[in-house]
Structure 1
């Protein structure tokens, strides 16, 4: 696994280095300079632009424990193609599960002023069991997704959906979606219901999400720091309802998910970041739609066997599939110390981190062929990162303590790489 991760990092680092060499090449014509800047900006967002179509780097190459190497191609039409219509698609192949996955969709703009769109899509792919996606989340691209390397619990889904997005005001956006999904876990699993045991199931779900940035303004801030300040806090609320017997849906349940992210900018140029996430699920909720706390620790015996790459907001000492909940809350605090100004190009940064999670689950015996614990006692870990020590790499050390402290000292420790690159 780790070997594939290093290969992936080398490939992406080479891509970045090539981009940086482009930036360092002197260009006399102003038009060429603008084109280069636009290209680099698109690349930083994960796209390689062409005349009518932008290729999406997210699908180029990835790795996880179930698919092994996952590679493919995808993208979306740009504004030169149409300002009112967007067509997006991707296709990928997993070399370990020997299976193609794909998605195709189209969006149509209904109103320009309110940025109102309607979207149709068909997707045949995998999703991590226990993960939650907010409809209002904007596109997020990383050259390297560290946590993905270690995930092994996925479920297949074939989903047909129609979605609607609308900006009510500056800083207040809403989205809704109706989807019909056929879901099949890739692992041995049975969910006990009043009608019997389900090993696969169909769901018909409606979602409504709202994201609010209370201080966001349509006016352009004077500087980058002011722009970042205006983005916070970011408050997101989402409601999900699964309907039994609608389009042959098997289960009825509801979920309420909440997240807020806030950054505090100190006068000494330190930054504090607070992230609060919570969720409650009621009804017949299978494991696929329960909550985990974004664990990122491999189930290996020694510290060095677990040596991998730290995530961004994951619990580094929590083992994969160790806990699942139908109600949970996580709190994360990060304090970014002002980068050490060793030289113009070499500026490592120290980040202090504390994470806490609490949760519980009703009727765990209804989930067959899988063993997991509850977070009702409260889970705590703290540590630090030293980022950008060499070529974007750094080091992370985290320690697990409190109610879920383990008997062996080494089992409470997570020592990992970090990887941070910005264009």
Structure 2
């Protein structure tokens, strides 16, 4: 199996979801706490006041009212006095009853000396317009000055950055750990934090810290990040700790408000100061205030359409001619088309440089995850990033910027507590500091290890027995027309056996053809690390004796799947393959890689498939076809990152294209190879970020085979006759197996996910939170005269059905075309696509339309 796709990173999310559910079975509300909630409003106008600050006097507990002025604040310790403040209003002190849950609506009096500076826009009956709107004129000034306010406008920049990512269960009942089953986990649930999120009690279960030194040079352009220290909670053998850390960091990406799009939770949110923001946001000047001896304008904004991936909030703009953002508060609306998120808030604070310009000094992202928006439980995710020692326009030696853009210092993963105490740019709360010890203790419990073993078996399909994993479970049973019922059993080693060695195997038996199939592979890493860890440097050898469909690629492991056993149309043409392959793979830190391979393949027809040619006009049957190949592959994927697991990795999409070129040389007379030929193949993959229109994946390919060959050694284009939608650029969902063969081809695949951009604007549909998809695939190609069996009878003849009708074709002047439109996020899980085939409809069993389903978990 291709190592990039051996395990989908969605499994990481599913695993953590089930782990969350395991801990959160019975959630109940707290008792014996002081809890105050209510609404903050203007005492004169009666309008509610969003983003007012509510604090418990003489403590660090602080809360913020939401966009409707609602607030909630609590503490497990009694308190009797809270303070409410809001820009433009006189602060108010309010007495409360300690140890009670109570409703307390707060009315604030406007400051008389500041009312003259406020331009009220909200509440007017007139229609909102961009024209002659001073708020829009101000935001256009901010947009016009964006480039000069970004750090990249300096010749040189350097700073330290510390990031802290926390995951915690929310509102676990104090009596929960007293239940008989959970008593052994009491140490975990009693470690609480009530200061991070007002109104919530948090039980931390995961913490990730990273300290870096960063350098930037404008000419010649170079960014360099040196990791000085990094550390995270290890969730044990059953969780891919590296993959989980990478996944969470990717969800909580760095927020740069000066970029047009802000990437969070695998989605692109439009920045309120994006170039196109006036078309998607409504802006209001709500106040002018003095902050740090600088006059700034408070600019509030809200989406024109609450379902789109946009923010509510405020930004504070300087009036010194730079129009720089000095502070920002960003929320998502409760109607935003995003799953499993009740609330999200982003706070960005900025500091002034010596030249009076501003740089971000602290960023805090807070996300409230929940399967149910109205639920009290769930999980809180928080990422706080602190920037210190910020210096600009101080040139450093060229050696500082040379080498790789990302470097991890030796020992960065092994810093002791004293190092962190001296170099951490922020502080850990008491509950955060204890989470490392608590999770280590958790993993020592046999009951926890047994629970995680069951979860791994259910989700990943593998059951761990010592250093070996048995599975995958979904391949134990499958069926097809040739083998009938098929049983398979196998597994793989884990890094607990060895980081350098990796083995995988299975045995299978078909009850209809009464044949055994088997597979064995072995991999050795030349570096003392996991074979899938970047950069790779390994050799792999494997042998496979199994049945397969013509055109389906020979893979590292054939994943026969019960659910994919159901297929449309005729499915009785198979091949028995005896396949040996040896590969050497070498990656470099600049993301260039190459692989050298040797392949020997013997194919024998099965079912109704046959190999036949004409010898002196007489039909001749061939029982098997053997080929031997030497392969050279080159690939360059700049800035590529991965979700890195123990025994898999998956590329993280980025804006840079990935380019690959493969050269294959068929060798005649070596290990039975019967043909000499050459194949040249090129491919470019590009992920497109389309802001509010979602994202798209584009793949362009071209291939040419040089030499005269029987059709099984040409390109048999990959078809999908299952009822599941396949978004692989090489697969055609309405093409039939073995329908098209080419010795040269060019292809284009385009797939776009619109994230509900159009459905969000249609009444009723926008409440369903469905999301649109569309795709288009075009395949140009054909068979040249030298490989045309009708011109050269000695070549294998294309298959025909019982009535003598052709079943396999060469593409003509017209390309094969198919497209689809679909809806995903049905019940947050399912998708359905209507696929249309546009031509070659006169072929046997060709269908014009087909519905295909998919299932995935999406934010």
TM-score of the two chains, using structure 2 as the length reference: 0.40
Q: Does 1:386 align with 2:823?
A: yes
Q: Residue 353 of structure 1 corresponds to which residue in structure 2?
A: 775
**Residue segments in structure 1 that go unaligned for 5+ positions in a row:** 1-15, 221-226, 299-307
The 5 Å alignment of 1:221-232 reads 228-230=652-654, 232=656
- Cα distance 1:73–1:356, how it changes in 2: closer, same or farther (>3 A)? same
8 Å CA contact retained: 2:678, 2:707: yes
Residue 856 of structure 2 corresponds to which residue in structure 1?
A: 421
Seen in structure 2, the aligned counterparts of structure 1 residues 62 and 219 have a Cα distance that, compared at 3 Å, is closer
Q: Structure 2 vs 1, CA of residues 86 and 148 (structure 1 numbering), >3 Å: closer, same or farther?
A: farther
Segments of structure 2 that go 5 or more residues without pairing to the other structure are: 1-12, 25-184, 189-204, 207-232, 241-451, 530-534, 645-650, 800-805
> Which digits, 9 at most, give the CA deviation of each residue in 1:101-159, with x for residues without a partner?
11112222223485321222222112332344688xxx998988749845543321222
> Are 2:809 and 1:373 equivalent residues in the alignment?
yes
Q: Which residue of 2 aligns with 1:296?
A: 720
What's the counterpart of residue 52 of structure 1? 467
CA contact (8 A) 1:387 1:418 kept: no
Aligned to 1:24: 21
Q: Given the alignment of the two structures, is residue 240 of structure 1 paired with residue 664 of structure 2, yes or no?
A: yes
Q: Do the aligned partners of 2:549 and 2:737 also contact (CA within 8 Å) in 1? A: no
| 205 and 322 in structure 1: CA distance in 2 versus 1, 3 angstrom threshold | same
Counterpart of 1:126 in structure 2 is 547
Whether the 8 Å contact between 2:15 and 2:459 is mirrored in structure 1 is: no
Q: Identify the residue that residue 319 of structure 1 maps to in structure 2.
A: 736
1:345-398 alpha-carbon deviations (Å, 9 max, x no partner): 975322111111111113133232613222132122222122242584332212
Helix, strand or coil for the counterpart of 1:182?
strand
Alpha-carbon distance in structure 1 between the residues aligned to 2:640 and 2:818: 33
Equivalence for 2:623: 199
2:834 maps to 397
Whole-angstrom distance in 1 between the partners of 2:705 and 2:566: 25
Q: 1:213 & 1:67 partners in 2: Cα distance?
A: 40
Q: Deviations over 1:266-313 (max 9, x none)?
A: 221601111223322222423322223322358xxxxxxxxx333223
Cα deviation code 1:231-285 (max 9, x no counterpart): 7523232222221111232222222223322211122160111122332222242
Task: Count residues with an aligned counterpart.
Answer: 387
Pair 297,107 (structure 1): closer, same or farther in 2 beyond 3 Å:
closer
Change (3 A) 1:68 1:199: same
Structure 1 pair 198/419, CA: closer, same or farther in 2 (3 Å)?
A: same
Equivalent runs, 1:7-406 vs 2, <5 Å: 21-26=18-23, 28=185, 29=188, 30=205, 34-35=235-236, 37-38=239-240, 47-57=462-472, 59-112=475-528, 114-132=535-553, 146=564, 149=567, 152-186=572-606, 187-191=609-613, 198-216=622-640, 228-230=652-654, 232-268=656-692, 270-297=694-721, 308-313=723-728, 314-339=731-756, 347-362=769-784, 363-365=788-790, 366-368=795-797, 370=799, 371=806, 372-376=808-812, 377-390=814-827, 392-401=829-838, 404-406=840-842
Secondary structure, counterpart of 1:130 in structure 2: coil
How far apart are the structure 2 equivalents of 1:331 and 1:420?
Answer: 25
1:52 Cα deviation (Å)?
0.7
> Closer, same or farther in 2 for the Cα pair 1:66/1:140, shift >3 Å?
closer
SS at match of 1:288: helix
Secondary structure at the residue paired with 2:716? coil
Q: Higher RCO, 1 or 2 (CA under 8 Å, sep at least 6)?
A: 1
Moved more, 24-33 or 370-379: 24-33
- Are residues 55 and 190 of structure 1, via their aligned partners in 2, closer, same or farther at CA, if it must alter by over 3 Å? same
Computed over aligned residues only, the root mean square deviation of the Cα atoms, in angstroms, reads 4.0
The CA distance in 1 between the partners of 2:836 and 2:540, in whole Å, is: 44
Preserved CA contact (<8 Å) 2:524 2:540: yes
Asked if the contact 2:475/2:559 (under 8 Å) is kept, the reply is no
The answer (yes or no) to whether the contact 2:547–2:577 under 8 Å persists in 1 is yes
Q: 1:117 to 1:264 in 2, by over 3 A?
A: same
Work out which of the two has the higher radius of gyration on C-alpha atoms and give 1 or 2.
2
Secondary structure of 2:654's match? helix
Give distance in 2, aligned partners of 1:124 and 1:72.
13
Do the aligned partners of 2:488 and 2:509 also contact (CA within 8 Å) in 1? yes
CA contact (8 A) 1:162 1:177 kept: yes
Q: Distance in 1 between matches of 2:843 and 2:675?
A: 40
Helix, strand or coil at the partner of 1:367: coil
Q: Deviations over 1:40-70 (max 9, x none)?
A: 6897666444431123426334444433443
Measure, in 2, the Cα distance between the counterparts of 1:47 and 1:415.
34
- Structure 1 residue 84: deviation in Å? 1.6
Quickly say closer, same or farther: Cα 1:127–1:162, change in 2 above 3 A. Answer: same
- How many angstroms does 1:181 deviate by? 2.8
1:357 counterpart SS class: strand
Contact 2:703 2:746 in 1 (8 A): yes
